[in-house]
Amino acid sequence: ERTYLDKVEGYSGEKVLYVGERVDGKYGIVVVKIVTKKDTEILVKYKLKNKGGEWLAYDISIQGVSLVNNYRKQFNSIMTRSSYEDLVKKLRKKVEGE
């Protein structure tokens, strides 16, 4: 989670370039490229789902790292070491602390 926040918070004044989109029924992907002040290119993909005529993002990947997959791995790790109940407790604690 911190990795994503660091990447997002670290961007200011960069160019965001539209690369393309693909739609397959109710699902779509929008791809943009962030060009930093040092001309580094960062590929960002938004995965979307059309729900009731409105496109909603359900995942974002930065340089190929998916936020959903990242959380899934963390959750599985917690449940492997302890339990589903422990995962829920940790999530509640985190939400209440923010």
For 49-66, the pLDDT digits (tens) are 999 999 999 999 999 999
Residues 48 and 93 placed together within one structural domain of the fold: no
Whether residue 98 is predicted with pLDDT greater than 80 in this model: the reply is no
Residues 5 and 49 placed together within one structural domain of the fold: yes
Strand-strand pairing, 15-24 and 54-62: unpaired
Residues 50 and 77 placed together within one structural domain of the fold: no
* Per-state percent for the chain, helix, strand, coil, to nearest 5: 40, 40, 20
Whether residue 1 is predicted with pLDDT greater than 60 in this model: the reply is no
Mean pLDDT, range 75-80, rounded to an integer: 89
Contact 57, 46 (CB under 8 A): yes
Domain that holds residue 91: 66-98
Rounded Cα distance between 45 and 33, Å, is 9
What pTM was computed for the model?
Answer: 0.72
